[in-house]
Each structure stands twice: as C-alpha cells, then as structure tokens.
Amino acid sequence: MPLLVMKFGGTSVADLARIKNAAEKVKKEVERGYDVIVIVSAMSGKTNELVGWVEQTSPLFDAREYDAVVASGENVTAGLMALTLQEMDVPARSWQGWQVPINTTSAHSSARFVDIPRENIDAKFAEGFKVAVVAGFQGVSPEGRITTLGRGGSDTTAVAFAAAFAAERCDIYTDVDGIYTTDPRITSKAKKLDRIAFEEMLELASLGAKVLQTRSVELAMRYKVKLRVLSSFEDTDETSGTLVCDEDDIMESKVVSGVAYSREEAKITLFTIEDRPGVASGIFGPLADAGINVDMIVQNISEKDYDEAHPGAVTDMTFSCPINQVARAKKALEEAQAKDLIKYDELIIDEDVAKVSVVGIGMRSHAGVAARMFRALSADGINIKVISTSEIKISVLIDRKYMELAVQALHDAFELEKA
C-alpha cells in the first residue's frame, strides 16, 4: 500500500472546526488508496501559552521539565485528530513520540533525530488501521525522557517520517497555498512557484522565508524526500501547491527563483585589529562558543604602520548576526579582548539594517546576476553596506528603511512575476 505523510501546522488545527477540515483532507487520501501518517502541531498559540506558563513558574527552568510541559500541546492535537477521523469511520490511532518511539539525542529543547523504528506503526497498519496520527515536535531521549526539537520541529518530524517510511511524498499543509517568488505582502506581483529545488528552498528558508523550517529542508534534501507545500483552507488536488524536489526534476530553472529578506539583522564592526594569522580565530572562536550565528563577513584591506600605537599591519572586520544575539556577541568580544585573544580600538554596532537576497540555481550557468542586482538597487538610491555570495545566492546588507523597496526593485529586475 502506498504511503503518504501529511503535516498540519498550528493554524491548520487551531480549533475543532479546523481539525475536522484537516481530517477531511486525510480521509480523501485514504479513499485514494493511501496509508497515511499525519504529523500535527499544537493548536495555534498553545505552544506560546505553555512556554509562558513554564517561564512564570520557573524562570531558570529545568529543560527536561520544560520539554515535558511544552510537548503536551501536540499530544492534545494528535488525540483530537484521531478521534475526529474515527468519527468519520477512518481507522486511526494517535501516537506520542515515546510510543513510536521517535529516538532522539538528549539535547532538551533542541534534540535531533537518531532513528524512527517502523515496527510499531507498521504493525497497526497491518491490523487494518489506515492512519497513524503522530505528535510532531517531540521524541524520547536515550534516558527515556520526553524531548522537543525546537520551534518549527513538526516540519522536521514530518520529513523524518517520510524518509523512514519511504513515503511517496510529504505534504505540508499551512496557511499559504505554496511558495512564492517573494512575500506577497510586500509586492502584489509575487507569483506562486509550481516547483523549486531543495537547494533554493534551503537558501530561502535560511534567509528568512517562513514557509518551511530550515532543518526540514536539509533533511528532505539529504534523503530526497519530495515535499509539497499547500493550503489547508482551499480545495486541493495533486497539482496544488509548490513541490520542493531535486534539481533534476525541474525541466528548466530561472536564473533567480526568489527574493528573500530578513529584518532581524545587525552589523558589527571591529576597528583597528591586528592583521596577522590567528586574529579571525580570535574573533569568531569566542562568538561560536557563545552560540552566535555569524553570517556575512567582510575584512578591509590592511594598512601598514597606522600610528605609533599600531606599528604593524591593521585592518577592520565587519560581520552580521541576528539582532537578538547582539548583546551576547558584544559580551563575547569584550571578554576576548580582556583575555588578550584579540585587540581592537572600537566596536560599532548598527541594528538598523536588513538583509535582502536573490536565490536561484540558474546562477550557476548565467553571468551578470550580481551586476543586474546592484544596478537595480543603485537605480533606487539604495546603498549596499555588505555583500556575500554563494553558488546560488547573493545577499546584501542595507539600511532597514529601504528593505521593502529593495525587494520590489529586485523582483522587478529579474522579472519574477513571469515565474
């Protein structure tokens, strides 16, 4: 019997009416001949409520108890979904992470999958059950404790089950009807993509697109799991939504497939640091130890004999990081200087920046993408502060007030409305 994985996010199961709507979509797939594994998130807003209760009870909480509380939201949804399907005469059973079992590491609140044995769920399918409703976002540690996977972990759960059970496809139901060339709230010209390559989706997810969680895309790419993103609130068929697939499954790729952005960026510059071997390690080692996610990095040309206090070569170093990590980054750098790991004259932080990126696997075979991007920004008077590139991505850091204008300009420059 072919198997399908269907994942429903929090807005798709926000109340009993929406759970019933989702269950009807599951029933249709069962009627088409599939066995179905349904992965559910907590009802919309429930996880935030549970986290709030934990923080009010114990500001310095035990991470194991945090997981025990926060994982309960998915357990409720799984049980309600199974009951709803049973009322529709669909043989269904709910599963919590420890019952599958979903084996994970012991890193509470940020656990990673170890393996998902198939035997228990396969046995229920063999008994005649057609649907296994699994609580997403959770698993069980080697010590037998409940673990959670971090926010957005239900997407990753769905992909992991699709890989473990060799599913035909993994359908991610959400509140949007697919993946767009950019945020439709910024430009009405944004177009829904029929297909997008794993690598492009991974870049877009990591750059700020909220449709799929980054780890889920990484896992799908590694195990070649076909993902489909579609709406819970529309009638759908096998052509609906956007398919995230291998590059070889796309007939012809546009040079640029999408424009992504992130408002939550900050730029940090260290002025007058020694230009010698080991300095970069002295800067970015302490940042890594502090858990800072450094992104764009630029080092200026070195200057000789700056002054009597700086007799050797000196340079400046600039990098970007999430704005909510600025305080930790500043503390880590100041501590590194106090320990003589690095020396700098001044540390300047700019929290009024945004990152805008163009992404496309077609960049590999087309020249002039960067020039086209920079011309478009220049035409609208947008100054670039920092640039970084990869094989299929170009990102720039700009003043935050120009972010929406930049997205619109780049969307027009690459004619993405013709996607």
CATH, residue 329: 3.30.2130.10
Within this chain, do residues 168 and 267 fall inside the same structural domain, yes or no? Answer: no
Q: Specify whether the CB–CB gap between 26 and 94 falls below 8 A.
A: no
Structural domain ending residue among the three candidates 116, 146, 175: 175
* Within a domain: 11: yes
Helices (H), 192-346: 198-206, 214-223, 279-289, 326-338
**142: in domain:** yes
Is 211 known as a binding-site position? yes
Do residues 294 and 164 share a domain? Answer: no
Return the pLDDT at 310: 52
**Is residue 223 a part of any domain in this protein?**
no
Q: Residue 306, annotated ligand binder?
A: no
What pTM was estimated for this model as a whole?
0.83
**Domain that residue 100 falls in:** 3-175
Residue 238 lies in a domain: no
Task: Let me know if residue 346 belongs to a domain.
Answer: yes
Would you say 9 is a known binding-site residue? yes
Tokens found for residue 98: 């420890």
DSSP code for 189: T
One domain, residues 124 and 266: no
The response to whether 401 counts as a known ligand-binding position is no
CA 363 remoteness from chain centre: 22
Q: Distance between CA atoms of 70 and 75, rounded to whole angstroms?
A: 10
Q: Consult the annotation and say whether 124 binds a ligand.
A: no
Is 180 marked within a binding site?
yes
Q: Are residues 31 and 164 in the same domain?
A: yes
Residues 166 and 284 in one domain: no
| Residue 158 pLDDT | 96
392 and 274 fall within a common domain: yes
Give the separation between CA 326 and CA 292, rounded to whole angstroms. 8
> Residue with structure tokens 């009597």?
308
Residue 27 marked as a ligand binder: no
Last residue of a domain, one of 175, 200, 231: 175
Is 210 within any annotated ligand binding site?
A: yes
The answer to whether 34 is a known ligand-binding residue is: no
Question: Are 268 and 380 within one domain?
Answer: yes
In a domain, 151, yes or no: yes
Phi, psi of 333 (to 5 degrees): -70, -40
113 in a known ligand binding site = no
Q: Do 285 and 342 touch, CB atoms closer than 8 A?
A: no
Query: 268 and 150, same structural domain?
Result: no
Same domain, 9 and 156: yes
For residues 164 and 284, state if they share a domain: no
Q: Is 59 in a helix, a strand, or coil?
A: coil
47 is in an annotated binding site: yes
How far apart, in whole angstroms, are the C-alpha atoms of residue 197 and residue 215? 15
Q: Which of 149, 175, 201 is the last residue of a domain?
A: 175
Q: Look at the block and give the residue holding tokens 């690598």.
A: 199
Query: Is 8 labeled as ligand-binding?
Result: yes
- C-alpha to C-alpha distance for 222 and 63, rounded to whole angstroms: 30
* Averages of pLDDT over each 10 residues, the chain, 419 residues: 94 96 96 97 94 93 94 97 98 97 94 95 96 97 94 91 96 91 90 91 78 88 93 85 86 83 93 87 92 89 58 83 94 93 92 94 87 96 93 94 96 88
The reply to whether 189 falls in a domain is no
Residue 408 pLDDT: 96
Q: What is the CATH number of the domain that holds 87?
A: 3.40.1160.10
In a domain, 170, yes or no: yes
CA gap 330, 323 in Å, rounded: 11
Number of domains composing the chain: 2
- For residue 35, which phi and psi values (nearest 5 degrees)? -85, 145
CA atoms within 13 A on the CB side of 48: 4
